[in-house]
Amino acid sequence: MNPQSLSALLSQVIKAVPDYPKPGILFRDVTSLMLDAGAFAQVIDAFKQQYQGKGFTKIVGTESRGFIFGAPLAYAMGLPFVPVRKPGKLPRERIAQSYQLEYGEDTLEIHKDAIVAGDKVLLVDDLLATGGTIAATTSLVERLGGKATDAAFVVNLPDLGGQARLEKLGLNLYSLVEFAGD
Ligand SMILES: O=P(O)(O)OC[C@H]1O[C@H](OP(=O)(O)OP(=O)(O)O)[C@H](O)[C@@H]1O
Ligand SMILES: Nc1ncnc2[nH]cnc12
């Protein structure tokens, strides 16, 4: 499917929920996309086409919606998948990074042995808003000696500033649909 058709399909299947989880937030709900098996497959295929053969050694997905797209992409590309998790969920030695969200504050953690020096990492998440989640994830990867060069999203909300923030960090960004004016 060409990028324009995929973007049009995604803007139909991703439902918008006003005032969730707080007044003033327009929530872009990817669970309605996952109910459409064909659209879900198109997302994973588009990511694979974008990144296959580019030398990535690991895919890192951020809890929880980053797991939904990151893990099937890792399977499709034959790469290891590394979960970055909310606090208290990883059982072995780990490092932590705090960050601001569009609607709150949180901390993320990664297992110390999940990234090794020289890893070339693709970050995957469902949605880019302020960029706090992926900035924190980039920092976790780089503190362990990896290089996070690229980040892939289903949805980009460019008005919330994440795109500009992550580009300043030197990340190459790729998203399948943009919603401006949120
Ligand atoms: O660009 P940002 O401003 O950081 O926002 C985007 C992040 O916010 C959401 O996750 P959330 O923390 O709500 O957790 P969830 O995936 O577990 O729902 C979303 O899945 C992204 O990870
Ligand atoms: N507007 C939004 N919709 C869905 N997930 C989000 N995560 C951060 N902002 C969001």
Report whether residue 128 contacts ligand 1, using a CB cutoff of 6 Å.
yes
Q: Is the dihedral of CA 170, 109, 99, 16 positive or negative?
A: positive
pLDDT recorded at residue 104? 76
Please say whether the beta carbons of 118 and 144 come within 8 A.
no
pLDDT recorded at residue 23? 95
**What is the number of the ligand 1 atom nearest to the C-alpha of 132?**
4
Six-digit token string for 158: 């460019």
Phi, psi dihedral angles at 163 (to 5 degrees): -60, -50
pLDDT recorded at residue 102? 64
Residues of the chain above pLDDT 90, percent: 94
Distance (angstroms) between ligand 2 centre and the Cα of 71 equals 20
User: How far, in Å, are 31, 113, 117, 154, 169 from residue 126 at the CA level?
Assistant: 10, 25, 27, 5, 19
Distance between CA atoms of 52 and 46, rounded to whole angstroms?
10
- Give pTM, 2 decimals: 0.97
Distance (angstroms) between ligand 2 centre and the Cα of 27 equals 5
Instruction: Write the pLDDT tens digit of every residue in 101-147.
Output: 766 789 999 999 999 999 999 999 999 999 999 999 999 999 999 99
The interface pTM score, or ipTM, of the predicted complex is: 0.98
Distance (angstroms) between ligand 1 centre and the Cα of 67 equals 11
Report whether residue 62 contacts ligand 1, using a CB cutoff of 6 Å.
yes
pLDDT recorded at residue 103? 66
Distance (angstroms) between ligand 2 centre and the Cα of 33 equals 14
Contacts of 178 by beta carbon, 8 Å cutoff, 6+ apart: 7, 155, 156, 157, 158
Supply the residues annotated as catalytic. 65, 102
pLDDT at 82 over 90: yes
Which of 102, 137, 156, 165 most suits a substitution to test ligand 2, by most atoms within 8 Å of the C-beta? 102
* Band of residue 181 on the pLDDT scale cut at 50, 70, 90: confident
User: Average pLDDT, whole number, for the chain?
Assistant: 96
| Ligand 2 proximal residues by C-beta, below 6 Å | 25-28, 102, 127, 129, 157
Instruction: Write the pLDDT tens digit of every residue in 34-70.
Output: 999 999 999 999 999 999 999 999 999 999 999 999 9
Which ligand has an atom closest to residue 162 CA? 1
**What is the number of the ligand 1 atom nearest to the C-alpha of 157?**
1
Report whether residue 136 contacts ligand 1, using a CB cutoff of 6 Å.
no
